[in-house]
Structure 1
């Protein structure tokens, strides 16, 4: 029997890594995408193999449209791809209209256009059924003045998740996970992260492992599509 494969974009580090490990533990072979994190990708692949599954590495700059299509085509040629997890994203520190919107092209290309192009290639190259999981941000439900372009990109991805679920039904199920305080933001220390629990109804922060568990839950369901599962401790409900 051919073992199913999950493609995890941005799978070498942070949340993507946790998702890759969680799916590997459930018996999926992993196609691990990375861009610049080659050293971390090799380390994550070795951890994945401890679960008795394969881990193949795929480098691509997903901000380049042609590389999105080429990535999926290569993975499908070498594996039985049934799951696509769009985890790769960027989170610019200086991201407001006062900063000149200089990161617009890069953020929109990677955070929004790439998941759409990857989904398009996934549908064109996979069997008649499968799962797409998009990693979203729970804070999008609560407008604020920070990280303008990032918020726009994730808002668009949220809408794309719900729209693709209808467009691709009944063969492809499309769902999302909306993250709250899961890891310290880039550049923030652990103390800052722990203080975030004061605003969370459950009184504690989350972890990447919880995200991995949520993704494995969604890909195990046959009657859920168009859903966005909040993993935020109730902070943005």
Structure 2
């Protein structure tokens, strides 16, 4: 039986794109999602095994892990599930950072530990864990400090798990910036955002797929971060 790739947050954008294209490439894909989206039907048609799970609900997460641990082996885990909350006032500070840390740090940490046996059981080469972090993990953010801090913590988990799970599992981060605009972004915002990178264009979801494919194929890269930022760090 083919060992599956687990992708969290496949309901839209990057997660949906990865699940769709990896399934089309012949991989067995298991995806998690929090909210129902029409495009999930397309993933089901492609054979993606979907599990609805709100990561803020401990009982739902526990149920998901019990189900996933029934897999005899897992090829890779891609931690894509994310939220992007702006900083609030002092009254909401703890709530906001707790939510950011839970989805970007606590849940990936728990999933990695729970499924270590399944990753170690993969016999087709080296298994993988890939954390989707963010460009702001190194730079910080004036308006999304809690988000940036949680993504930085997620990359730190990359370093810890790379050392902890070697040599049978490789663990890496992908740190994107300005991959794609939202449908409601206005032209003024787009032009301002594009000027923040050297290449001055959207990267697109395919850049993440290319990075994931590279890491899955490599047998010698671990504990690293691939920066997909269009040269933003040099502006």
CA distance in 2, matches of 1:85, 1:131: 8
**Offset of residue 13 of structure 1:** 0.8
CA distance in 2, matches of 1:96, 1:182: 25
**Offset of residue 98 of structure 1:** 4.9
Name 1:90's counterpart in structure 2. Answer: 83
Question: After the TM superposition, which of the residue ranges 55-64 and 185-194 deviates more from structure 2?
Answer: 185-194
Question: Do 1:111 and 1:154's aligned partners in 2 also have CA atoms closer than 8 Å?
Answer: yes
Q: 1:32-78: per-residue Cα shift (whole Å, max 9, x none)?
A: 111113533223333xx1xxxx3111111122345434324413425
Would the alpha carbon gap of residues 65 and 125 (structure 1) be closer, same or farther in structure 2, given more than 3 Å must change?
farther
Name 2:98's counterpart in structure 1. Answer: 105
What secondary structure sits across from 2:203 in the alignment?
Answer: coil
**Offset of residue 214 of structure 1:** 0.9
What secondary structure sits across from 1:230 in the alignment?
Answer: strand
CA distance in 1, matches of 2:129, 2:61: 15
Question: Do 2:137 and 2:148's aligned partners in 1 also have CA atoms closer than 8 Å?
Answer: yes
Please give the residue correspondences for 1:3-152 in structure 2 after superposition, counting only pairs within 5 Å: 3-46=2-45, 49=46, 54-77=47-70, 80-92=73-85, 94-98=86-90, 100-101=92-93, 102-126=95-119, 127=121, 129-152=126-149
TM-score (norm 1): 0.86
TM-score (norm 2): 0.87
CA distance in 2, matches of 1:160, 1:229: 15
Corresponding pairs, count: 229
Question: Which structure's relative contact order is higher, taking Cα pairs within 8 Å and 6+ residues apart?
Answer: 1
Would the alpha carbon gap of residues 78 and 143 (structure 1) be closer, same or farther in structure 2, given more than 3 Å must change?
closer
- RMSD value, Cα: 2.3
Specify every segment of 5 or more residues in structure 2 that has no aligned partner in the other structure, as ranges: none
Would the alpha carbon gap of residues 66 and 216 (structure 1) be closer, same or farther in structure 2, given more than 3 Å must change?
farther
CA distance in 2, matches of 1:59, 1:67: 9
Please give the residue correspondences for 1:81-230 in structure 2 after superposition, counting only pairs within 5 Å: 81-92=74-85, 94-98=86-90, 100-101=92-93, 102-126=95-119, 127=121, 129-184=126-181, 188-189=185-186, 192-230=189-227
CA distance in 2, matches of 1:77, 1:191: 50
**Offset of residue 96 of structure 1:** 4.2
Specify every segment of 5 or more residues in structure 1 that has no aligned partner in the other structure, as ranges: none
Would the alpha carbon gap of residues 9 and 190 (structure 1) be closer, same or farther in structure 2, given more than 3 Å must change?
farther
